Amino acid sequence: MPHRSRSFADVDLAAAYAYPTDRPWLRANMIASLDGSAWWGDRTGPLGDERDRELFQLLRGLADVVIVGAGTVRVEGYGPVRPRPEWDELRAGRAPVPPLAVVSRALNLDFDAPIFTAASERTIVLTTEAAPASQRKAAEARAEVIVAGREDVDIRAAVDALIARGHRRLLCEGGPILLAQVAAAGLLDELCLTLSPVLLAGDAARILNGTPLPEPGHFGLAHVLTGEDHLFLRYVAKNAQGAGPTPSGT
Ligand SMILES: NC(=O)c1ccc[n+]([C@@H]2O[C@H](COP(=O)([O-])OP(=O)(O)OC[C@H]3O[C@@H](n4cnc5c(N)ncnc54)[C@H](OP(=O)(O)O)[C@@H]3O)[C@@H](O)[C@H]2O)c1
């Protein structure tokens, strides 16, 4: 077995995190403290370091679409994805940035904010039939709205809809409530987890927050990259078949 632990600085990140080319693939990128907290003072930023930010951007650069829960958009004040010069090669033949796909039931979002008004790739809103009509109208004026479910967004239907639009390299940036549902739906092919060298205690959620999965999700270690004090773990689901309706090998 090849040695799977390498120094972050010595690795060609784009190669180490390349998506499979033969199937849709859903990866999540998350960070946790040593004791499992998914945030520090409501935000993830304080958990990360420069390398984590580099990886965060690289994973965006590799992706066709970035899926995120409305809670994270509100708390973290998400803006649109901005093009970066280092993505030119990564994204050759694709749009310069991946669109964001925001999952929301209530549509309690600021549709006048840059995430909707200044996105070079129109932001997608994944919502439900039960979303308030006035909010739905506001969303439709500023975003591409996909209705995938009645009361709740059916995560599998939402992911299928993204894949049907050509977004085969999917990146989920959480938060924990959304990611728990992605995993519960059996859609999580890969987890990129940054381990942050800090203890916090308190009541922050773990990186998955919701009802227990129907079956434990088992993952194999693809690699560990060592930073100064952070660890960058890449785990692939043991049963990863690729997100979406068409399993691998076909
Ligand atoms: N550690 C990390 O890597 C990481 C990553 C991301 C975020 N975070 C942190 O996590 C916190 C936010 O995460 P969170 O878990 O509270 O929220 P979240 O997962 O980002 O968003 C939850 C919201 O998403 C919408 N949603 C989720 N599932 C849905 C479904 N099936 N159907 C319809 N809508 C659905 C709902 O939005 P509406 O309320 O609009 O209906 C729900 O309130 C923040 O503190 C953030 O800093 C940490």
Domains present along the chain, CATH in parentheses: 5-237 (3.40.430.10)
- CA pair distance 95, 60, nearest whole angstrom: 12
CB 82 within 8 A of CB 100: no
Asked if the bond preceding 77 is cis, omega within 30° of 0, the reply is no
Q: What is the model's pLDDT at position 3?
A: 58
DSSP letter at 210 equals S
- Identity of the amino acid at 127: T
Tokens of 248: 């691998």
Q: What is the model's pLDDT at position 243?
A: 61
Instruction: Please identify, by atom number, the ligand 1 atom nearest to the C-alpha of residue 108.
Output: 40
**Which of 30, 33, 39 best tests ligand 1's pocket when mutated (most atoms within 8 Å of CB)?**
39
Q: What is the model's pLDDT at position 4?
A: 81
Ligand 1, atom 6: closest residue by C-alpha: 175
Instruction: Please identify, by atom number, the ligand 1 atom nearest to the C-alpha of residue 30.
Output: 3
pTM for the model stands at 0.96
Which residues are near ligand 1 (CB < 6 Å)? 30-32, 38-39, 42-44, 69-72, 75-76, 103-106, 108, 128, 152-153, 173-178, 181, 207, 209
Spacing, Cα 1 to ligand 1 middle (Å):
38
- Per-residue pLDDT 10s for the chain (250 aa) are 455 899 999 999 999 999 999 999 999 999 999 999 999 999 999 999 999 999 999 999 999 999 999 999 999 999 999 999 999 999 999 999 999 999 999 999 999 999 999 999 999 999 999 999 999 999 999 999 999 999 999 999 999 999 999 999 999 999 999 999 999 999 999 999 999 999 999 999 999 999 999 999 999 999 999 999 999 999 999 988 666 444 333 2
Instruction: Please identify, by atom number, the ligand 1 atom nearest to the C-alpha of residue 207.
Output: 1
Spacing, Cα 175 to ligand 1 middle (Å):
4
Q: What is the model's pLDDT at position 250?
A: 27
Q: What are phi and psi of 240, to 5 degrees?
A: -60, 125
Residue 8, CA distances (Å) to 55, 85, 208 in order: 10, 21, 25
Strand, coil or helix: 33: strand
